[in-house]
Structures are given as structure tokens and as C-alpha cells.
Structure 1
Amino acid sequence: MTDTKVVIRKTLRVPRSAGAPGDGARVARQMDAALAGVVFKASGDLLAHVSQLEPGAAMDLAVDVIGAVRELVGDNVPHNSYFIKFPDGVPDTVEFWVKCLREALTPARKWFRSDRDLLTMGWIDLLKLPRYGRYQHTYEELLAAHDELIPSVKDRVTVLHLGDMLQEELDRLFVDLTGSVTPLGEADLVALKSLTTAATVQLDAIPVRENRAVVNAARMEDGQPLVFVDTVTDVLRVACQTSGGDVTLQERTKFRSFKRRERRVLLAALDAVIAGNSGKLGDVTMYAGPWKRLGEYLHPHEYPQFPHAQDVFAVARGERKVRTLAGRAELAFATDGVTKAVSVLANAPGLLVRSLDRLLREAEPNEIEAVVDAATKAFESTSGRVLCSLREHLVNRNKPDAARVFTTRARRAWVTKDNRKPLSRNVIDRATTALDIELLNRMPAYERLVVDPAVLDVALPLTGKATEDGFAVLPRGTRTPVDGEVLRFFTYWKEQERRTDYDLSALFLDENFQYAGHVSWTNYRNDGAVYSGDITESKNGATEFIDIPLDSVDFAYVVPQVNIYAGEGFDEVGESMFGWMTRERAQKGAPFEARTVRTRSDMRGSGRVALPIMFARGENGTWTANWMHLYLTGGVNFNMVEGNQSSASLLARSLFHRDYLTMSYLVDMLKAKAGSVTVWEPGLRLTEPVVFVGLDRPEGLPDGSEVFTRDRLNQLIPA
């Protein structure tokens, strides 16, 4: 992917071309027409820029622009459907299976030596039926079988804006990613790695350690010293990153061999950390196993000039005993109780804040005051992201949940009973008030603040691990309204090395989150909902669809899911995506129409069942999309909606009833600091630079305006 495409996909800004001036007006018109087909629109400044370029340079830029936006909405691949006239012409499930079997047994067919070839342990093997699971028509034949899409005023329109020169845009994106106060998602970490060599700016700080490791891995490979390293774990992350492993340290990394200059860089960084504070050796025991394996590749005994680095590996091997602060706190908790544990944790404010719920649960009434006072003091030295996470956590502690949902950084989810003792309302109120004051003090005082109301219900992007890369994707917990008579979601995948069969399914739940039906490859129809047909191999890519008529179904909740029935995982295939469209029935059109795509997200989790989103019907009949971004472990193969309906419904219920901290929380504090806020509405005229907060940048903002849209909302979280 070109650097220009990276900038466009991430920011919806088009870098200025350095091409020669000329008459590119014709190319600009062609580009604008092509963008309209996927319901993107070039801003006036962008069209003017392309028009003033020499035609060849204009065409190069237009090709990058159109390619980037088509990839964003998933229009860069053909989306065929098994049943050519979907959503019409889809038969009853069993009727279709019987038809496939009859055709297989027709004497004219020479597919099988005997009928026994169709059987697997006494059952009919659908995969051995010639018609089943394989496209019976070309993509061109599919398009010819459908009426042309009729445009609607409700179709999405996304504006592309003109940016600065490419290097300036790369530098700006690099600064945004490295300066993020929240962990980045996988796609952003990949982008950050490439930007590290392309950017020309000097950094003052990299707040998040995972992001720091990506930058330092690139520096180490260039023979440069590591920067902003203040713990031994920072060095371990770099070794994992450069070995192609897990920078979060959640998964085992197989270390590669390191060049001598790379070993010197890593050992020098370790030596400097321990020389400055030998107490940091306590962090080694948390990852003793990885440290021992890394020591086999670094050969620290060959570098006597780094004696403190050798101490790290001595601790990892158990030759030197060092107790961690967490270990001392745990010992104090077990022997002397909460008050002593608090006094130990006071030396690690972040750890104290993360332990606050447990401390409050176990504290005696006469200890509560000391715990809250210590926490309030610790808030001053804790990152804003952690404070916001705690604020959201406490809001949900008024009473025990129906179930506790745990999610890993890889978005793997599991559910257990909530056996925690509830916290008193008084304690929660005291802690949240202290959090609000601390966060408010950190918020900047912007003048001329303009806010688009559409952003207010977006869940705070506290981590990039709670979302996926894609188009118009929002963090887990976000709720957005759904317009249109028909909801259609789709999944596309393309296998890499072995046959891979993904199955798009939809679980339907009633008002109490109880099973109310489903559609999948085992049940093509249910109360107006229609499944497009089962594709069982994806050498050339495969797509499955499900249609939901929102104005006629009786379900309260719709939970789409993608099950891996066989083959490669979401993080192994060449490509995998999920998205959803809305349209009016009268619009007609092919199964996939880029102009009706509302969102498209990658699927890259490590589980075998993807739960990207759920849809909920309100009391007045309106629907909302509720982002989940979760994966169930599932089985190695043969995952089906029937087998995970209990865990999927429990997850849906828990996430739907959870109170998420949203952008309205930050906007209220920004408003308190600014004194007032202007509500954005189409047609609003602004004459002076403003600070704009919204989902997408509108046209017409004055030059010099600071813009926080969905790709930069995390920049508003206090440091």
C-alpha cells in the first residue's frame, strides 16, 4: 500500500501532489464521478488541486484516491452470492439440500464411483455434492440478474479533504500515533512501524509502552539506541516486536537471532535502566520465562561492559531473588490487611488505582476513609486513560451484574458469574467525584468549541484493542442509529493456504435475551430474514449475506456472527471483513452496493467465532447498532450458531446493559472549561478558526481549525 493510501484510509485527507502544474480538470471530473459511485465526495479544495495538476500527475493521485476509498468500503473485491437473485429466489433449506442430492445421484453425472462416496459416518456429506457450497454463476452474471440500484437521499456521503504535502501528512500521522495516550490497534501498530522510517520529526515522548516498542524496534534494526526506555519490560517488548511476536506480551514469542549490534543496543538499554534504579529488577520476575529465552539469544556474558544487564538474567534464572512491589503488596494484604497493602501500593499509583475495587471490597468500615484518601492522591500521578477506565468501572458497580465479561487485548471474551460484593453508593460517589475533579483539571480550555451531536454517544476510545480497522468503525459500547427499511450484513474472506469455510449467521433474541430463532447455512429463512447461501471454499474469495427487514421482524435483538467452520483463522486468512448496509426496498440493486455500506471492519481476532456488532430495537420501533468487537474461543472446526447461542446471548446482554463512558462525558468537561459550546449543524457558517469535535470533518471549516474526528478522538482523553 502506498504512503498516500495509508494517509487517506486513516485520515480521509488526500496529500497534495508534488506533480507539475497543468490542466487536470478532466481527470478531476472523472475522479469525482468515480467517487460518487461509492458515495464519497471530494471537497472543493481537493477538486481544485487535482484540476491544476498536469494530467499524468492528476491521474496518479486520482488512482490512489479511488483505490483507497474502494478498499475502505470493501468495494475492491467482487461480492458474489450463492443464490443469484438473493434476497429473492432463496429456497427452503431442506428443499435445496434434497435438490442437490438428486442432482448428484442423477445417472448422467459421473462425479462418484458409488453412492457411498456421499456418506461420512452414515450421514450425507454436503461438501461432496457438486452443486453445494460453490458458486454456480459468475459475478458478471449476478450483476446482470439484478436491477440497477436507485440512489436515495439516505445514502451515506463521506467527504474527502485536501491535506498538506505527503511528508507533512506522514509526519502528522506519525506524531498522532506515537503521541496517543491510548494503546493502538493492530492495524495502527503496523502503520506506525512503516511510519517510523518515513517520518522526519523528532519526538518528545511516547506515552504508551507498546507504541514505544514499535518505534524502538525500528530504531534498533537501524543500529540506533532505544529511546524513552525506563523499565526492563520496555526492552523485552522491543525484542518481541522485532522478532515478529506479541508486543503486548500476552502470547508467547519465538525470538529470532539477533545481530551483534542489535544485542549491544538491547543490553545497553537494560544496563542503563538498572544502573539508574536497581529496584526495577523486580519487574523481571513477571516475565521470567521470556527473559530466560531471550538470554539464550543475547549472550549477556559476552558483554562485560554491561554488568547491570547481566543482573536481569540472573533474576530471571532465579539466581538472584528480588520481590516485586506487587508481590510485597500481596504479602501485606494477606498478613496485615488492607491498610498495610495501601501503604505499599502508594509507591505505585497506577497499581493502586487498578486495585481500588478490591481494596474497597475488602476494607473494613473504618478503613474506607484511608483507602479513598490514598486513591485520591494516587489519581494525580495516574494516566487519564486509567482514570477514565476506573470511572466507567465504578459506574457499573452499583449492583452485581448478571454476568462478568472479561476481554483480552486480542478481543477474546468469556463470561463468569459476578460474585463480587457491591460497593456502597456513598463510596462510589466519593471516588467518582474525585475522578471528575482530577480529569477536569487536566482538560484544555479551548476557545470556540464546536461539537457535532452525532459524536456524543461514541464510547471513549480508551484502547485501540476495543475496535477493528476499517471504515466508519467505532469503539466497543458505541450505539449509533440505524436508518432504512432493510438491514443487510455481509462477510468476505479469502483463504491463504488451505480450504477455509466461514459461515455468516444471525442469532435472534427476544426482549429478555432469550433465543428467538436464527438464520444460517442450516436455516435459510426466519420471519422475513434471509440467508444468501453457503460458500464452503474461498480460493478466489467468498461472500455471504443476510437480509433483515427491520420494519417487519418481531425480534428485539439481532446478533450477527461469523463462525469458522473449517480452515484458517481470522488472523491467518489473506483477507477477512464484516460490514453492514442499509437500504430502502425500492432501491433494488445488487447484493453488495458500495453506496449503501454504512461500516466495514476487518476481522483479525484469535477466536473462532466473531461477534462484531449487535442490533437492538427500541420501544418506538427504531433500531440502533451496538458495537461489540468480540471473539469467542469456539472449537477448532465446525462452529455453528446453534452451538454458541448461550454464550453469544449472554455477552450481548452484558454489553448492552453496561454503562459506557461516552464522548458526552469529555464534551461536558470541555464545555465547562470553554464556558460555552456551539452545536454543529449543516449550513453553519464559521469565520474564525475553531476546535471541532465530531465523527467526520465537515466542509467549510476555517483554516487553522483544530479537528478531532473519529480517527483522533483518543487525543481528547487527558494525558
Structure 2
Amino acid sequence: MESNSEVKDQEKLTPFDLVAFSSLGGFFFEDDLLQKTTPEDESSNKTEIELVVTTFLESSFYYGFYISEEIYKALIAINDKDKIGLVCMKFLKVLCDDIGESTANGLVMYPNFPQQVMEASDFDLFLNAIINYWSNGTLLPEYIKQKRLPLDEVHEKVKIKNVVKTDDLKAYFLKLLASKSSLTAENDKFVDFALEKGWYNEIPSEFEIPFKQLACKVAYFVMRRNLSIDKYIKTTTDILRLMAYASGGDVTLEKKIKFKSFPRRERRILIQALDNVIKSDDVKFYVELWKLAFHSLHVGEYKHTKIPEIAHKYRNENNVTTYDTQYCEAIKKQDSLKAADVLKVKPSIFARNLDKVIRDCISVNQYDNIAKVMEQFDECSLKIGTKVLLQLLSHFQRRKFLLLNEDKRANSNRLVQISGKLYSVIVPNNEVVIPEKVLNKLIEIIENSLVNQFKERHLLKGQKVFISNKVDSILLPLQLSSASTKKTLAKGSKISMLREFEEDKEKKNVLRFFVHWIGNDIDLSALILDEDFNKGVTIGFTLLRDGSYAWHSGDIVFAPGPEGASEYIDIDIEAAINNGKRYVALDVRDFTRKKFSNYDVCFGGVMIRESLQSGEIYEPSTVKYKFDLTSETISTVMFLFDLKLKEMIWIDSSLHVAGKANSLQGHSNSVRTVLQEIKMMHEYKVSIGQLVRLHAKASDSEIVDDKSKADFTVSTDDEAGLNVYDVAEINSNWI
């Protein structure tokens, strides 16, 4: 399948292709393409078309995929020998994109890695590195690439099974809109594309978009078409988010926003929607932003609404008294009963302040008031969204876990996620301990509220349910806006990879990490730790090898296009364990402090290999995970690998490194602290397994231990009734 400039232009990937492959498990066929198909026996080009399709199947198999009979028949039925080539090339490009195939042609400092690094003298490694640095990456050592032994390993193939049609994509679009949490970057891009295609017309009149930022995104597209946005605007703050989105600002409202000058027709739509929902209390929450927004909306021109009066009040009074004032004063005075009495009017705010109110009871020795506070919370808990309740459940389960594990509580740090991208570490300062009896009651109240709300959905009614023990280590995907992969998991989730290491009775023993990019200086590093997260060794540009178990392919400081460059790290698992090592953290960062989002090409991944030397450095069929680096950060720790248990603990988090040397070695202590905390998350955060058990209880369903006796299964298997990687389904229907 040769390509030319015309073909290259037509084979460009769209969000349709990517979402169809990664989330729907198949390839997207355009409607007109399917309509032009003909029965096999009527095709005058049958032999030539079969040859092209067979070549595509063979290429797919080489890259680690196999194509279902359904897709094969759909391709064969295309009675156009020119069109079939373009379709197959585009599908093959989708597969290559999923595994990072372009790494095969990337520049590598030591092309005979890892043997070449093993055998090189310390002087040669140092000299090659220093010459490369002095020349700003223009001078690299020249080596003849030696012939390698062919790859003789068995690796499980990924099945591409579905023929995806436009109606399937439209249904997926609505499922994404029903999500109760942030979307991945890929799905967010797909929503943008779907809106541009006009699919907002497919949204049913009674449909509600629960995630506020997503609702405002849809509202913006509707507003641009001079249509009413009332359906998507439920609160005062929704208007502020919409104005921020339209102005290219921060939709989370955490940063200062410069609102654009809205055309009169858009101002009229915004004012009409705002007049229907505006509340003075909500304005005060973002009062400084609202002062700017009122000016941008020219609210003085709309005297027939109640908006000018509210705007005048906040512009001229220093401290407008609102509902918030009452509970803030009560909390400040540690008057827990007063605070609870005020907060129950706004249940979601009560949920977010519940921990503080309970601790205030303890601080002032008013233990009798704890039961009264919990009773008031219980009375209003059914009005709290299930997402908020699940987050609250994780919070109190964490408190209970640390209370019962004093050794971990003494050294525990609290991780706070900022803007969906960064983690900072906060050490608790004499935090008040909530008694176990109180924590048990709080957890009971929250679980009962969730069960009562889940009863309305009947997702498992009348079914016998099998829950794989693997999903108890997969956490709820509640914050995915910064996720870097297509197979997305929540931070702290544990993924067993034992099956991948023992495929076809072969025992694989090598982890090969890689990063590929075009542009400046990207560094791939690995922090290798012992059982207790001590005695860390950093494999990277400062140390290319350590003993007989870890090797780096060499630091490249400039990766010119179009091929770019690649760096690799090999870990001999058995040798590492024998050297007292247990965990490996994969770190990628830009040494020049350029954000990953500014790169056209930047991704990484991990291969599992049987041998260090057999096969090419990059072998597509051995790639198990590939992640795209697209975040607004300059560094990321992708995952922590447990060498002993063959488990991957998902991290996908960046650390703030301003003002310090930009290397993993310079931040190994802070990285280690974050890793220890995230590793513990599966002990207390709500998992997919716990969520499904709550649904089973709500539906009076039986949970069975034998998968063969189940009507519904929950696992990491693509054939499961609920797949843990299907975040759209989980966020829209199960949370």
C-alpha cells in the first residue's frame, strides 16, 4: 500500500477514528462508504480488493492487532479498488498511532542498545554525552547498527471487533454528555468535533448535562447559532463559566479572566438566561469575576431585568450579606449546630463542609452535637449528587484507614490536586482525629443515600453479578481532564499485568520503557526503589546504567524532524529483585521547561519482552501501554511498576519543579513522597468493585463467585458487561 501526497492528505485521522477505535472497540465506517458496498459475488474487483484487505490484516497482525470477521466482511464489500486502499491505510495509521509506531524510525544514541551500553566503558559513555551537550545535540557518536536476532516471542493480540457507524458515534456523544465528571482530552476533542458537525440537534429536549463545564461548552455552540441556552443554564455560575469559555479563559474559574466583548445578540441571550437563574448568594462566591462580567454584559442596558440591581449592590457595597455569610460566621465561631442548620438548605455545600463541622464539635468538646449534625446531614443527603457523595465516601474511608493504621497515619501526607494537572503535598498539622464510631456512622449514611438513589436506575435488577477481584483495585474515574492515555484509569488504580508476563507459558522478564518526540530536550528517567521506598537509584542522563539490571539508551538533547528521537530504559526484573529493588517509577520531563502541549509529537510507553537482545529495540507487538504527552506541564510520572507482583500503579501526575534543577534526580525525595501516597489510594478510595456492589444492593441482585453462573460481569475484559476502561459508561450511567 504505497502512499503519495494525495493519499497522505486523505488519510489524516479525525476524532471519529480515534474515539471509534479506543472507546468503541472498532473502526468507523462513513455512512456513504457502507451504502456503496456490494455483495461479494457482484464485485468486479474482488481479487484486487481481497489482496489489499489481506495485506492490511497482515500488517495489523504485525503491529499486535487482529481484525474481526465483521470488519473484514465490511472491507471486502467495498466495491472500489481505489477507495479500499485509502480506507485500509487510514485504519492502519490508527493502529500505529495507538502503539507509537513512529518510534521505530526515531534517532537513538546507541543503536545496539542495550548490549552496547552494557559493554561501553565509563569514559566512552561520558565522552559521548559531553560532546552531545557541547554541540547542543548536533554531534552524536556514529555506530554501525548490528543485525539483531529476530523476535521469537508470543504476545497477545488486541482484537478490533466492531464496525462503527455514525449512529454509534452519535449515541457515544450523548453518553459523553451524560458524564458526571471531566472528560479525557481525547473525548473532549470528540465532543468539540460532534458539536461542529451539528449533533447538538440530536440532544433530546429532556436531556440534562450534569457536568457543568461540559454543559457550558454545549451552550456556547448553541449561543453562537443565536438559539436559546436556557436548557443548559441551571445556576448563576453556569453563565460565568460560559462567558469564560467563550472568552478563551479558565472554565474552572480558578484564574483571572479577561472577558471578550460580546456581540449584542450574544449579550441578549446571556442576559435572558442569567435573569432566569441569578441569585445574589451565587454572585458573591465569584464577586470579583462578576464585576468584570457585569461590565462585559453592559447590564445597565437591561433595566427590565433584576440583574442591574444585583450588580449595583455588589459594585457599591463592601460586604453584601448572603446565605454564605451565615454559615461562614457559624463555622468561624465553631457553632456546629448553627452551621448544620444553615448548610442543610444547600446539601452539596453541607457535604463539602461536613468534615469541618464534625471536627469543630470535637475541638470544643461538644460530642453530643455530632449525632445531631449527622442526623441533619442524613435528612438532606438524598438531594446531594452521587458524584459528590462518592467523593465524600472516599474522604471518610481514608480517615478510617489512617485511623486503623497508625503507622501509616504518622507518616501520611495529603495530596491536593490543582486544576486537574498538578499534585502538591500538604503535611497535616495536628489534624483533629474523628472517632471510628463516628466515621462508621458517616460512611453508613453516605452508602445508604447512594443505594437509595441508585434504586431509581435499576441497572442490575434481576441479574446475577460477577465482580472480578481485579476491579477492586481500579478506582472511580472522577478526574480525568489531565489523563494522557486512551485506556484511561484513575490515579492510584492498580493493574495486574501478570498475564502479559506469562503469555503462552513463556516467562517474560524485561520491561522496556520508551519516549519519542520531535523537538528539544525530553528526558526519560526511572526512579528505582526498594520495598520501603528507600535507597532510590535514578536511571537517566546522570546514570546510564546500574549494576546488572538497568540500562538507558543515551540522552539526546535535540530530536529533529521528521523522524525525531527516542530514549529507552531496560529493566531486567529478576536481576533487579535480586538486587533488593521492588518498584520502578517512569518519569518524563522537558529539560528546557517547554510544556508537553507545545509539542506536535511527544509520547511514551512500555514494552514487555522476554529477552534483552532479541528483536529490534522497538517491536510493535510488545507494546502494552502507550501514553500521549499533551498536558500543560513540563514533567510527569506516568506509573509506578511493582516488579514483584507485576502490577502497574497508575500515577499520570506532574510535580511542580519551578526554581530547581529540572531532573528526576533533583526531585527524587518529593517524587517518592507522592508515589507512597498514591500507592495507598486503592486502600480507601471508592473502587469500581465497591460502586457495583452498591448498585447490586440497590437492585437486590445476587453477587456470585462463579463467572459462568453470572448474567452480568464486571472486569478488565473487553467482553464484560461493564469494562473498567469504559469511562464514558461508568461516568454517565454508574456514578
TM-score normalized by structure 2?
A: 0.84
Q: CA deviation at 1:266?
A: 1.8
Mapping for residues 152-231 of structure 1, pairs under 5 Å: 152=154, 155-166=155-166, 168-198=167-197, 199=199, 200-203=201-204, 204-226=207-229, 227-231=231-235
List per-residue Cα deviations over 1:61-104 (Å, max 9, x = no partner): 32332222221222245443221111221235554223566xx6
CA contact 2:331–2:357 (8 Å) conserved in 1: no
Q: CA deviation at 1:524?
A: 0.4
Question: Could you tell me which residue of structure 1 aligns to residue 281 of structure 2?
Answer: 282
Mapping for residues 409-420 of structure 1, pairs under 5 Å: 409-419=419-429, 420=431
CA–CA separation in structure 1 for the residues paired with 2:726 and 2:445: 28
1:529 counterpart = 2:550: yes
Question: Could you tell me which residue of structure 1 aligns to residue 56 of structure 2?
Answer: 31
Question: Could you tell me which residue of structure 2 aligns to residue 119 of structure 1?
Answer: none
SS at match of 1:591: coil
AA partner of residue 441 (structure 1): N
AA partner of residue 428 (structure 1): L
Match of residue 13, structure 1, among 26, 29, 34: 26
1:520 counterpart = 2:534: no
Q: CA deviation at 1:385?
A: 1.2
Question: Could you tell me which residue of structure 2 aligns to residue 259 of structure 1?
Answer: 263
1:465 counterpart = 2:485: no
CA–CA separation in structure 2 for the residues paired with 1:680 and 1:712: 27
CA–CA separation in structure 2 for the residues paired with 1:262 and 1:638: 48
Q: CA deviation at 1:437?
A: 2.0
CA contact 1:26–1:51 (8 Å) conserved in 2: no
AA partner of residue 217 (structure 2): V
AA partner of residue 61 (structure 2): A
Question: Could you tell me which residue of structure 1 aligns to residue 513 of structure 2?
Answer: 489
Q: CA deviation at 1:655?
A: 1.4
CA contact 2:470–2:496 (8 Å) conserved in 1: no
1:351 counterpart = 2:352: no
CA contact 2:471–2:724 (8 Å) conserved in 1: no
CA–CA separation in structure 1 for the residues paired with 2:356 and 2:196: 44
Q: Which has the higher helix share?
A: 2
List per-residue Cα deviations over 1:600-625 (Å, max 9, x = no partner): 222334443311111124xxx33211
Question: Could you tell me which residue of structure 1 aligns to residue 41 of structure 2?
Answer: none
1:453 counterpart = 2:473: no
Mapping for residues 494-509 of structure 1, pairs under 5 Å: 494-495=518-519, 500-509=520-529
SS at match of 1:615: strand
- Distance change (3 Å), C-alpha of 1:4 and 1:359: same
CA–CA separation in structure 2 for the residues paired with 1:49 and 1:680: 37
CA contact 1:493–1:575 (8 Å) conserved in 2: yes
AA partner of residue 174 (structure 2): V
Mapping for residues 615-626 of structure 1, pairs under 5 Å: 615-617=641-643, 621-626=644-649
CA–CA separation in structure 2 for the residues paired with 1:160 and 1:341: 55
CA–CA separation in structure 1 for the residues paired with 2:75 and 2:153: 26
SS at match of 1:230: coil
Q: CA deviation at 1:530?
A: 0.8
List per-residue Cα deviations over 1:641-690 (Å, max 9, x = no partner): 22111110011111112323211112323444363356797xx799xxx6
Question: Could you tell me which residue of structure 2 aligns to residue 377 of structure 1?
Answer: 379
CA–CA separation in structure 2 for the residues paired with 1:315 and 1:149: 74
Question: Could you tell me which residue of structure 2 aligns to residue 647 of structure 1?
Answer: 670
List per-residue Cα deviations over 1:125-169 (Å, max 9, x = no partner): x62247x5765569xx86x754433341xx242222224422x12
Q: Which moved more, 1:322-331 or 1:360-369?
A: 322-331
1:629 counterpart = 2:652: yes
Mapping for residues 540-555 of structure 1, pairs under 5 Å: 540=561, 541-553=564-576, 554-555=580-581
Match of residue 439, structure 1, among 433, 439, 450: 450
CA–CA separation in structure 1 for the residues paired with 2:107 and 2:159: 28
Question: Could you tell me which residue of structure 2 aligns to residue 657 of structure 1?
Answer: 680
Aligned residues: 666
TM-score normalized by structure 1?
A: 0.85
Q: CA deviation at 1:192?
A: 1.4
List per-residue Cα deviations over 1:555-592 (Å, max 9, x = no partner): 12211212221141123222332321211117722222
State the identity as a percent: 21
- Distance change (3 Å), C-alpha of 1:68 and 1:98: closer
CA–CA separation in structure 2 for the residues paired with 1:625 and 1:207: 32
Question: Could you tell me which residue of structure 2 aligns to residue 277 of structure 1?
Answer: none
SS at match of 1:386: helix
AA partner of residue 194 (structure 2): L
CA–CA separation in structure 1 for the residues paired with 2:688 and 2:613: 34
Match of residue 108, structure 2, among 69, 81, 91: 81
Question: Could you tell me which residue of structure 2 aligns to residue 714 of structure 1?
Answer: 730
Match of residue 248, structure 1, among 244, 249, 252: 252
Unmatched 5+ stretches in structure 1: 105-125, 275-279
- Distance change (3 Å), C-alpha of 1:250 and 1:579: farther
CA–CA separation in structure 1 for the residues paired with 2:466 and 2:84: 35
- Distance change (3 Å), C-alpha of 1:353 and 1:172: same
SS at match of 2:525: strand
CA–CA separation in structure 2 for the residues paired with 1:613 and 1:95: 32
SS at match of 2:591: strand
CA–CA separation in structure 1 for the residues paired with 2:492 and 2:170: 31
Q: Which moved more, 1:556-565 or 1:203-212?
A: 556-565
AA partner of residue 354 (structure 2): L
- Distance change (3 Å), C-alpha of 1:480 and 1:403: same
CA contact 1:67–1:76 (8 Å) conserved in 2: no
CA–CA separation in structure 2 for the residues paired with 1:81 and 1:192: 38
SS at match of 1:235: helix
List per-residue Cα deviations over 1:361-385 (Å, max 9, x = no partner): 1212111101211222232111111
Structure 1 stretches of at least 4 aligned residues deviating more than 4 Å after TM superposition? 132-138, 318-321, 447-452, 677-681, 705-709, 716-719
